[in-house]
A and B are shown apart, each in its own frame.
Chain A
Amino acid sequence: MSLLSPHLPTLQMLTYLVRRLLLVLVVVWGTATLAFFLLFLSGDPVNLLLPLDATPEVREQFRKANGFDRPVWQQYLSYMGRALQGDLGISLRNQTPALGLVLERMPASMVLAGAALLFAVIFGVLAGVIAAVRKGTTLEFVVLFFALLGQSLPVFWLALMLILVFGLELRWLPISGYGAGPIPGLPALANLVLPAIAVGTFSMAAITRLTRGGVLRELRSDHVRTARAKGLSERVIIYKHALRNAAIPVVTVIGLQLGNLLSGAVITETIFAWPGVGRLVLTAVTQQDFPVVQAAVIVFAVLLAVINLVVDLLYGVLDPRVRYA
């Protein structure tokens, strides 16, 4: 890599892109394998794939028909084969393809995660900047305190408290449900507020602290001092220099936070009666609808791997100092 001329960034970028895509494939393959072996954790996979009132005869039939009596490596290959064609099994409870169910619910979870991310980034960065700029004042202390609090409150408890206060007592916002947004398929804005806040608070707190740290570092740095010496206004310094450079770690964190956000969504969707994948998975787990659990794990892995790839590339764009090695 170091032999390549610095005047050929495109080749470097392409190689990097290819390597990262390969990584995505590895991640997906790894998760599919994990999902496959999950079936065997409890012993007999047939137990997890058939309804509980299935008779022994039905079980034998199912076992033969689906090749569970063949050696494990053969089963693995046929499982992967089916998975590549998009067949991830049939939901026991709903009698429809598991992959279809998961994909159908993805948009709702994505909307929630996206809104939570927006909330986390906008308010997190704002709070972080305020805390950095007003270092040493009570305002900073208050912001930091709430940031810490935000990272300490269990997300499901926060969700319940939010509903209690804003939905029930104050009646400002709906108690549950998706609502009907301006475009069919989108939730009503009012219904999105509380879930987004509940899911996004932890990330917002993390971003607050990160931004504050980043901005503080930048404000002490050489080129900001130069900018000050040049006489630029404080506001310009903050927005143009400090923030832009502090944004880099925030962008990296976004990739990490996505896992967190989706975790939060999984737990809180049920509380908000939100029709997302999280609620689907929880219902599937309690109903022993294992194909759905498998499908969800795989879909999430693919999604997160792709998003992390995108974030990585963005990171590269933002910070030209990054080497693609």
Chain B
Amino acid sequence: MRRILRTPSAMVGISLMALFVLMAIFAPLISPHNPTQQDLQAITKPPGTESHLLGTDRLGRDMLSRIFHGARLSLVVALAGVLIGALVGIPLGLLSGYLGGRVDDFLMRLGDIQLSLPFILLVIAIIAALGPSLTNTILVLGITSWVLYARVVRGEVLSLKEREFVQAAHALGASGRRIMLKHLLPNAAGPLIVVATLELARLIVTEAALSFLGLSGVPPEIPSWGQMLADGREVLFFGGWWVATFPGVAISLLVLGINLFGDALAEVLDPRSR
């Protein structure tokens, strides 16, 4: 396992992830400016302007500081979404696999239907009905991603159901639930972690997309990469390419890192998926 994690791509992935996580944690300490401090005398200044390494945005706020703080929002929202998805998906998967029959059929069909829709359309439609707010966004992102976790867990349940030692344990009278929890979850942990990692990357991009479209409900005073992209849209080609480009690069690098790391993890924890 260690060997695989030592490969150059895994190392790059871990480094990138670590970079952004540290960036998010230490943002207030490493930011040269207050990310919400406006300076109307210095709006949309290019990178390299005094004290603004990456320039300023359309209200004179320091881009570098906003990139650092933006990492917080992206990671927190994505992590929350992953947690909710897992919290919803894992029990559903357990139910589906253990109970089988109608319940299993229904849940898997529901999952199929959901996966068959363009994800963003589903999310947009729900947010359109609910109204944009950060809580709504996190809930919607989380709840709609239950399927992958459920499928992994269900797969494990099904395969272990057949295995002898479960049947043996049953014969000895151990309660069904105890069998499940004791044997199944540890086995499912590996693939689940891989799914969670890849979902993390996907949710970071989805939140950014929603913010870009103005539908994520992130309050304006919280620096957010997606929001910064939306801000910079109007001046991307003329007047201020840096306002939208740096957040885009940040998102790409973070997601790249997570993907690299996720790939290496998958080699280790879930070789079947390769």
Interface residues of chain A, those whose CB is within 8 Å of chain B, are 23, 26-27, 30-31, 34-35, 38-39, 41-42, 48, 148-149, 151-157, 160-161, 163-164, 168, 213, 256, 259-260, 262-263, 265-267, 281-282, 284-286, 288, 290, 293-294, 296-297, 300-301, 304-305, 308
Contact = CB atoms under 8 A, between A and B. Distances in A.
B108 to A, nearest CB: 11
How many B residues touch the partner, as a band? 35 or more
21 contacts: A27-B116, A30-B110, A41-B126, A42-B129, A148-B259, A148-B260, A148-B263, A154-B209, A156-B229, A157-B229, A160-B244, A161-B245, A161-B248, A259-B115, A259-B118, A262-B121, A285-B124, A288-B128, A293-B124, A301-B113, A301-B116
A281 B121 contact: yes
A54 B118 CA distance: 33
B130 A157 contact: no
B131 interface: yes
A285 B127 CA distance: 9
Top-4 shortest CB links A-B: A157-B248, A41-B129, A262-B118, A152-B256
B121 A300 contact: yes
B130 A41 contact: yes
A297 B128 contact: no
Contacts of A267: 120, 209, 212-213
Contacts of A296: 121, 125
B248 A297 contact: no
Interface in B29-82: none
B10 to A, nearest CB: 12
A140 to B, nearest CB: 12
Contacts, number: 129
B121 A31 contact: no
Contact of A297 (B112, B125, B260, B263): B125
A163 B208 CA distance: 19
B27 to A, nearest CB: 21
Given A42-B131, A164-B241, A282-B213, A266 B116 contact: no
B112 A27 contact: yes
A290 B128 contact: yes
Interface string B155-178: 000000000000000000000000
Contacts of A163: 237
Contacts of B236: 160, 164
A27 B110 CA distance: 8
A152 B112 contact: no
A304 B117 contact: yes
A262 B255 CA distance: 21
Contact of B116 (A152, A213, A284, A304): A304
Contacts of A297: 117, 121-122, 125
Contacts of A26: 109, 113
Contacts of A168: 237
Contacts of B117: 31, 259, 297, 300-301, 304
A29 to B, nearest CB: 10
Nearest to A40: B129
B187 interface: no
B62 to A, nearest CB: 21
B272 interface: no
A290 B129 contact: yes
A286 B213 CA distance: 9
Interface string B250-267: 011101100110010000
B115 A154 contact: no
Given A293-B125, A297-B117, A297-B121, A154 B130 contact: no
Contact of B121 (A154, A155, A213, A263): A263
A244 to B, nearest CB: 21
B131 A266 contact: no
B214 interface: yes
Contacts of B122: 297
B201 interface: yes
Given A282-B213, A308-B116, 7 more contacts: A34-B113, A38-B125, A39-B129, A152-B253, A262-B118, A282-B124, A290-B128
A34 B129 CA distance: 12
A154 B248 contact: yes
